[in-house]
């Protein structure tokens, strides 16, 4: 018993004496004279405490942190799983250190308007605002699109998001809120009038569904995304949202399933909420959207409705987004998000209906 006590005493004395000493972990070499601690390894790293933004703020509000925020708390470091950054407390605020690997530009212009851009990982670079150009590119110049509601599937038309149902489209909401974008029929959005080469939608190979944008309404170097590319965007948002708040402030519960690629509405996960804007459109009281803002890498879908035939409908209730993928002579695939649903619809819609447009950067 006496020997055990002596051994324990010696252990604590040695540790007490070494508490102020220089230390190397992972090697028998002495540390450099200017280092109090050195970590040496060729196959392991140092893992910082990991917190979400919400968890970090909870810690920051504790009496212990508040009392020492400008003194002993300075230099505290964490890895923030919400934004993927190492953060250091400088006594007044958290300073972010992020490794920027994105190849996406911060914005894109169509020659008249500038749009914010989001980096959606494997899904690529997407506009995070609705397109609002009134002209269409073509070889040699620009051409004005036709304005107003129409049942045409061959003439390019645009209209304005309009409050109410079965009303004649007017520019009032757009003039006050240009970020709502314009609504386009498929001929305007895609630059095509026939069934096209991808009439089977997502069932074609991915390579066949990565258009270059030739002839469509998107700026040079960008294109109207295909049915397949929409699926890749949804997959990225769904799976990333399981563990982080990369695209929205509320995590989803369901991972992407391959069956979603060819399914329709109401049977496709719960990630639609993460894609919808937190800001309701003008005249609508609330939204269940949890998307990050468009400038903070959120898809930020605005529920601006559509124009069907001669009438504006579903303002504040639904928002549709065209794909470049035809599903026959009269229909094409689009995506639909609704104010009362957490899912994303994959639907065949009439080409004369006017929906919102988002463009994707060419690969």
This prediction's pTM: 0.72
pLDDT in tens, 46-97: 899 998 877 888 898 899 998 998 899 999 999 887 767 888 998 888 887 7
Residue ranges in the chain modelled with pLDDT below 70: 1-20, 83, 98-101, 137-142, 194-214
Q: Could you please report the per-residue DSSP string of 316-355?
A: TTEEEEEEEEE-SSSEEEEEEEETT-SSEEEEEEETTSBB
Residue 286's pLDDT is: 83
Per-residue DSSP letter, 187: H
Kindly report the backbone phi and psi dihedral angles of residue 60, in degrees, each rounded to the nearest multiple of 5, phi listed first.
-65, -25
Q: Where are the domains of the chain?
A: 21-97, 107-361
Query: Two tokens at 276?
Result: 């919808």
Residue 99's pLDDT is: 60
CA pair distance 191, 137, nearest whole angstrom: 10
Residue 191's pLDDT is: 86
Element (H, E) at 109: strand 107-109
CA pair distance 42, 76, nearest whole angstrom: 26
pLDDT in tens, 301-333: 999 999 997 899 999 999 999 999 888 888 999
Residue 2's pLDDT is: 43
Element (H, E) at 114: strand 114-119
Residue 212's pLDDT is: 59
Residue 137's pLDDT is: 66
Q: Are 304 and 315 in contact (CB under 8 A)?
A: yes
Residue 142's pLDDT is: 67
CA pair distance 36, 274, nearest whole angstrom: 45
Residue 209's pLDDT is: 54
CA pair distance 53, 85, nearest whole angstrom: 11
Q: Could you please report the per-residue DSSP string of 135-184?
A: EEEETTEEEEPEES----SSS-EEE---SSSSBPP-SHHHHH-GGG--EE
Identify which of 119, 116, 77 has the alpha carbon closest to the alpha carbon of residue 97: 77
Q: List alpha helices for the chain, DSSP H.
A: 2-18, 53-60, 63-67, 172-176, 186-190, 227-240, 272-275
């Amino acid at each position: 018993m006496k020997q055990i006590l002596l051994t324990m005493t010696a252990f604590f004395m040695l540790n007490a004496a070494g508490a102020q000493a220089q230390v190397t972990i992972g090697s028998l070499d002495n540390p450099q004279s200017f280092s109090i601690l050195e970590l040496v390894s060729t196959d392991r790293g140092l893992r910082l405490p990991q917190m979400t933004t919400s968890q970090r703020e909870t810690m920051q509000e504790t009496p212990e942190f508040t009392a020492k925020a400008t003194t002993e708390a300075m230099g505290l470091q964490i890895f923030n799983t919400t934004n993927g950054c190492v953060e250091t407390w400088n006594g007044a605020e958290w300073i972010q250190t992020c490794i920027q690997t994105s190849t996406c530009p911060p914005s894109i212009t169509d020659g008249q308007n500038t749009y914010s851009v989001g980096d959606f990982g494997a899904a690529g670079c997407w506009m995070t605002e609705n397109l609002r150009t009134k002209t269409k590119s073509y070889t040699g110049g620009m051409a004005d699109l036709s304005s107003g509601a129409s049942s045409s599937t061959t003439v390019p038309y645009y209209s304005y998001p309009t409050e109410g149902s079965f009303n004649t489209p007017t520019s009032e909401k757009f003039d006050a809120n240009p970020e709502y974008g314009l609504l386009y029929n498929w001929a305007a959005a895609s630059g095509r009038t026939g069934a096209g080469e991808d009439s089977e939608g997502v069932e074609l190979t991915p390579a066949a569904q990565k258009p270059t944008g030739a002839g469509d309404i998107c700026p040079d170097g960008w294109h109207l995304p295909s049915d397949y590319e929409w699926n890749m965007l949804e997959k990225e948002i769904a799976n990333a949202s399981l563990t982080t708040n990369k695209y929205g402030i509320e995590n989803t519960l369901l991972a992407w399933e391959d069956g979603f690629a060819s399914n329709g509405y109401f049977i496709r996960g719960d990630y639609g909420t993460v894609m919808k804007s937190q800001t309701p459109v003008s005249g609508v009281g609330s939204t269940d959207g949890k998307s990050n803002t468009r400038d903070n890498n959120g898809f930020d879908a605005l529920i601006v409705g559509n124009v069907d035939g001669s009438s504006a409908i579903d303002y504040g209730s639904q928002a549709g987004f065209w794909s470049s993928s035809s599903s026959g002579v009269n229909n094409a695939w689009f995506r639909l998000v609704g104010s009362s649903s957490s899912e994303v619809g994959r639907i065949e819609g009439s080409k004369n209906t006017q929906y919102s447009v988002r463009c994707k950067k060419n690969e």
